[in-house]
Chains A and B, each alone.
Chain A
């Protein structure tokens, strides 16, 4: 770079100009930016697929395009509907012009087409066989979040005491069924974005913590991820078992339960960061207990108040059954002195959580100065 060591002005910027510009019909509302650099999205093959589609699109946005021709900001959102339709209408045998990439050779073109058809066939196979395993449309509903939702939800997770309406809002859909709102419209709706991000951040925070102690080994990433997955799995199994044993119906949406289980990682990260800031002793214990109780309160409130489309709230039956057991217990303890508690339904899912948390907290306090990695492992189980 000795060119620029003396005080000359830098040479003018040159935008990359495609050497063999393929014929790409101008999408109706794309502005013509300087020096022929037309596209805002990246790859040519997806550009040439709209060849069958824009003839229909030309009619309606052509009125808009005259006004929006030279607005560079307006183009990406308007290009989205066109490209949003492309993956679903992708014809597998569309003639693709690869000359834009400089691949003029017929063999290379044939190779690229073969690769594309192979990829499409693979996707079809996966969709057919494994499409039923992970219901993509159902999962998508949980990722329908917005920035304000995430911030608000994190605030509720860390300070749930003052949050007022906990019930999920619902809306009557067109076919008359009641459906619950997605996370973008309703703060109380569970999502899978925050749990997923919190889980990954937890793994990274543990790795950072080990690095600060100069103890980092690459396999702890996998070990921690495995441990975290085991904790989520165990929690899910406990909740399902508790629901079965206590005959609670309507509480069992798998993704909902996974979402609520994942929320506790946010509290774990807070405690871990507090540990990394060299907070020791009583203050660390206070931080741990605060995040413990905040997460517990959040979970209890949100699950208690979330009404499924069935008429009975889920934990109404749990509390009614437990209160029945307790009231009958009072009658028996008047006459006899021994506690009949273990013979009653003490294994509800909330009590399972709480019991685990109590045991782990006891374990945690027995060690005088716990090592940080053990604490990082105990906290997910504790909470």
Chain B
């Protein structure tokens, strides 16, 4: 049956999958690379103030998914090492 342990394993596996995706070999190929920060290129161009307020809403679902994936990759890479270690040790000793 679906239990809390199953959900924990599934979520750890999914986050592992998201962390393992290669930025330039895979995500850039399908156009899901995380875009660089907007203000980086704005020094050479006039800075559009009214356009900036609408960025948040016009990013769209795809943009937010890309942001989510890049945020997960940035934040969870190092804690994932620890979590994976714990689960591996548990499965070795008590997994059966």
Residues of A that sit less than 8 Å from B by CB? 223-224, 226-227, 229-231, 233-234, 244-247, 345, 347, 377
Contacts and interface: CB of A to CB of B under 8 A. Distances in A.
Closest 6 CB pairs of A and B: A226-B3, A345-B61, A230-B7, A230-B2, A227-B2, A223-B1
Interface of B: 1-4, 6-7, 56-57, 59-61, 64-65, 68
A377 B60 CA distance: 35
Nearest to B59: A247
A230 B65 contact: no
Please report whether the interface of chain B is mostly helix, strand, loop or mixed according to DSSP: helix
Given A234-B7, A244-B64, A247-B64, A377 B2 contact: yes
Contacts of A244: 64, 68
19 contacts: A223-B1, A223-B3, A226-B1, A226-B2, A227-B3, A229-B4, A230-B2, A230-B4, A230-B7, A231-B2, A234-B7, A244-B64, A244-B68, A245-B64, A245-B68, A247-B59, A345-B60, A347-B61, A377-B1
A223 B56 CA distance: 43
Give the interface centre of A231, A245, A345 by most chain B CB atoms within 10 Å. A245
Contacts of A377: 1-2
A231 B59 CA distance: 31
A230 B61 contact: no
B56 A230 contact: no
B52 to A, nearest CB: 16
Contacts of B6: 230
B23 to A, nearest CB: 21
Nearest to B7: A230
A358 to B, nearest CB: 19
B6 to A, nearest CB: 7
Contact of B57 (A223, A230, A247, A345): A247
A283 to B, nearest CB: 27
Contacts of B57: 247
B5 to A, nearest CB: 8
A308 B59 CA distance: 25
B78 to A, nearest CB: 23
Contacts of B1: 223-224, 226-227, 377
A247 B4 contact: no
Give the interface centre of B56, B57, B60 by most chain A CB atoms within 10 Å. B60
Nearest to A346: B61
Contacts of B64: 244-245, 247
Given A227-B3, A230-B4, A245-B64, 19 more contacts: A223-B1, A223-B3, A224-B1, A226-B4, A227-B1, A227-B2, A229-B4, A230-B2, A230-B3, A230-B7, A233-B7, A234-B7, A244-B68, A245-B65, A245-B68, A247-B59, A345-B61, A347-B61, A377-B2
Nearest to B11: A237
Nearest to A380: B2
Give the interface centre of B2, B6, B60, B64 by most chain A CB atoms within 10 Å. B2
